[in-house]
A and B are shown apart, each in its own frame.
Chain A
Amino acid sequence: MVATQLYDCRDAYMSALEEMAAEDTRVCAVANDSLSSAKLKNFKACFPERFVNVGIAEQNMVGVGAGLANGGMVPYVCGASCFLTARAMEQVKVDLAYTRANVKLCAMSPGMAYGQLGPTHHSIEDLAWMRVLPNLAVIVPADPIETAAAMRYSLIHEGPMFLRIARVPVPRVHDDGYKFRLGKAVKLRDGNDVTLIANGLMVSRALDAARALETRGVSARVLNMSTIKPLDREAIVDAARVTRGIVTAEEALAAGGLGGAVAEVLSTAHPAPLRILGVPDTFAPTGTAEFLLEHFGLTSAGIERAALELLGKEE
């Protein structure tokens, strides 16, 4: 068996950003010192006059983004998600979301990508924090194809966006011709027993789980819910109608993120059995990203188990 090729989505983000900057002189980048982790070294070399490094100063960084947008630029504000969200939360709320500033937040290395560095550097709260802000589109691409497509889309979308750019390597789940549509779930696999809704790096794991479930005679639908906001309510309600229950999976706290968003729709529009997979109400122990994902059951086996349990088919 040939090993599946894995991709760092930051490469797709970087290529898309550089291409867009070459085509559109409004595109600029704002960094907070971390040029390597935000993959901006080549951008700085190619477009020095459209590159701003504010240093280690995230509140200022987001405000600078808002000002650049006021002046007619389209800034991509790129920093580690843990700092970009938590440190600059009020600027994201007021300067971007409330103001409807045309700023794109590129949240690098989210979730537990920084593994052993510990909970200070994990960003498992970001989806809950970002999702509640009016006007802010929140996108969690699943693979390099979708990362590039969402980046491309961001330039024609007028308004603030939060793009969660994965660092943990993932396989491709989309074809080359994939077109990103804001607020639309992508049905990667149809099924009528159970629906698996995932985003980010959990999408390929949900697909693996669906294949495993098939061998047990369980037909699983898989939705890539890469846009958490605005949320595709119709896809969720349809899944609740057609299948017997839903399992959500995200590399984030189980509270307030994708699972929370799905729960809000189900409880008010079409109650259905639901299992939410994510990090429970705790800060993670020490370990690599892959260890922590295993530790919290954020694996294809974990999704498969949850689906079987939901369907009453536990071993």
Chain B
Amino acid sequence: MVWCMDKSLLEMPAAAEERSQWLHRKGNWIRLSAMTMNHRAGLGHTGGDLSSADILATLYLGGLLRVDSAEPRWPQRDRFILSKGHGAAAFYATLAARGFFPVEILRTYMEPLSMLNGHPDRNKLPGVEANTGPLGHGLPIAVGAALAARMRREAWRVFVMTGDGELQEGSNWEAAMTAQHYGLDNLTVIVDRNRIQQGDFTENTIRMEPLGARFAAFGFAVAEIDGHDAGALFDRFAHLPIETGKPSCIIARTIKGKGVSFAENQPAWHHGVPSAEQLAAAAAELGVEVSW
């Protein structure tokens, strides 16, 4: 299953149970790294970093995404597009863990002239496919990339992770119609369904349910899974497309602020930034260390 031999992947256990525990710890390392970055920068989107960490860990560190950190622009690579570009800290920590750049660079997050902008920039940082930040951009780009793979008769796949509030942007549904029309089963949309957007819970803002039924009505094969269950994520990502001839949509049910009790399910932690004390408390709860 492991696609290429990045050093970061060699230590992953083969047995399912141990692998899930290992990925869970990797997810927590991404969480604490993101919180450390946000703390140092005094800026960031902690809640969404924490909700997406297990998805990122499974895709990248579970070896399911066919990328090669030694050749970031390898033409046959799978494309992963972080449409929720504000989740940059967790994404950067993941890319560093996968070997795209030294983890020490995470210290420069949002510093003047850093490669690590507040939102990802593919011209600055290896491993980034799209410059995102404004919402509703990732899915159209992913559809275009999936069409490119088809035109070129190549086997690489496209993954895009959106937020849930983000799906209020109409461009997503324009792109969904295109994905359906062209039967893009090389495309997988992952929704980080943490149920909170910047101002409030999604259902208090603009109701998103029944989200899975909406994607199904737009022609996607839909799976709803626990977005913090590394085993379930691994099994789902390892068996794509969900249905031949249809684009896949994985609604990952997540908890905003996951793993850090005082941040969980709190809209204020959408762009909350931890204090030194909160960072220490988070490290204790997550049971990991950040050495960079």
Minimum C-beta distance from B168 to chain A (A): 14
A64 adjacent to B123 (CB under 8 Å): no
Minimum C-beta distance from B72 to chain A (A): 12
In the assembled complex, B273 has its CB within 8 A of some CB on chain A: no
Instruction: Note all chain A residues with C-beta closer than 8 A to B129.
Output: 70
In the assembled complex, A257 has its CB within 8 A of some CB on chain B: no
B125-166: which residues lie under 8 A (CB-CB) from chain A? 129-134, 136-137, 139-149, 151-152, 158
B171 adjacent to A100 (CB under 8 Å): no
Instruction: Note all chain A residues with C-beta closer than 8 A to B145.
Output: 67-68, 70-71
For the complex, give the distance between the alpha carbons of A233 and B200 in Å. 51
Provided the pairs A71-B79, A71-B148 are in contact, do residues A63 and B143 lie with their beta carbons within 8 angstroms?
Answer: yes
B134 adjacent to A60 (CB under 8 Å): no
In the assembled complex, B178 has its CB within 8 A of some CB on chain A: yes
For the complex, give the distance between the alpha carbons of A75 and B142 in Å. 14
Q: How many pairs of residues, A versus B, come closer than 8 Å at their CB atoms?
A: 115
B141 adjacent to A63 (CB under 8 Å): yes
B171 adjacent to A59 (CB under 8 Å): yes
Contact pattern, A 16-54, Cβ under 8 Å of B = 1, otherwise 0: 000000000000100000000000000000000110101
Instruction: Note all chain A residues with C-beta closer than 8 A to B142.
Output: 67
In the assembled complex, B174 has its CB within 8 A of some CB on chain A: yes
Closest to B187 in A: A67
A97-143: which residues lie under 8 A (CB-CB) from chain B? 98-100
In the assembled complex, B75 has its CB within 8 A of some CB on chain A: yes
B151 adjacent to A65 (CB under 8 Å): no
In the assembled complex, A217 has its CB within 8 A of some CB on chain B: no
Instruction: Note all chain B residues with C-beta closer than 8 A to A65.
Output: 144
- In terms of DSSP, what is the predominant structure of the interface of chain A? helix
In the assembled complex, A91 has its CB within 8 A of some CB on chain B: yes
In the assembled complex, A312 has its CB within 8 A of some CB on chain B: no
Contact pattern, A 75-90, Cβ under 8 Å of B = 1, otherwise 0: 1000000000000001
Minimum C-beta distance from A84 to chain B (A): 14
B178 adjacent to A67 (CB under 8 Å): no
A99 adjacent to B131 (CB under 8 Å): yes
In the assembled complex, B41 has its CB within 8 A of some CB on chain A: no
For the complex, give the distance between the alpha carbons of A156 and B131 in Å. 24
In the assembled complex, A57 has its CB within 8 A of some CB on chain B: yes
B123 adjacent to A99 (CB under 8 Å): yes
In the assembled complex, A73 has its CB within 8 A of some CB on chain B: yes
A52 adjacent to B131 (CB under 8 Å): no
Residue in A49, A55, A99 whose beta carbon sits within 8 Å of that of B130 in the complex: A99
B174 adjacent to A50 (CB under 8 Å): no
B144 adjacent to A67 (CB under 8 Å): yes
In the assembled complex, A62 has its CB within 8 A of some CB on chain B: yes
A-B contact pairs, 10 of them (CB 8 A): A54-B177, A59-B171, A63-B171, A64-B144, A66-B140, A66-B144, A68-B144, A71-B146, A72-B148, A94-B133
**B residues engaging A (CB < 8 A)?**
75, 79, 121-123, 129-134, 136-137, 139-149, 151-152, 158, 170-171, 174-175, 177-178, 181-182
**A residues engaging B (CB < 8 A)?**
28, 49-50, 52, 54-55, 57, 59-73, 75, 90-91, 94-95, 98-100
Closest 9 pairs (CB-CB, A-B): A67-B144, A71-B148, A63-B140, A60-B174, A57-B174, A64-B144, A67-B145, A67-B141, A59-B171
Extra contacts besides A60-B171, A70-B79, A94-B134 (18): CB < 8 Å: A50-B151, A54-B174, A57-B177, A59-B174, A60-B174, A60-B175, A63-B144, A66-B130, A67-B140, A67-B148, A68-B151, A70-B129, A72-B152, A91-B171, A95-B130, A98-B131, A99-B122, A99-B131
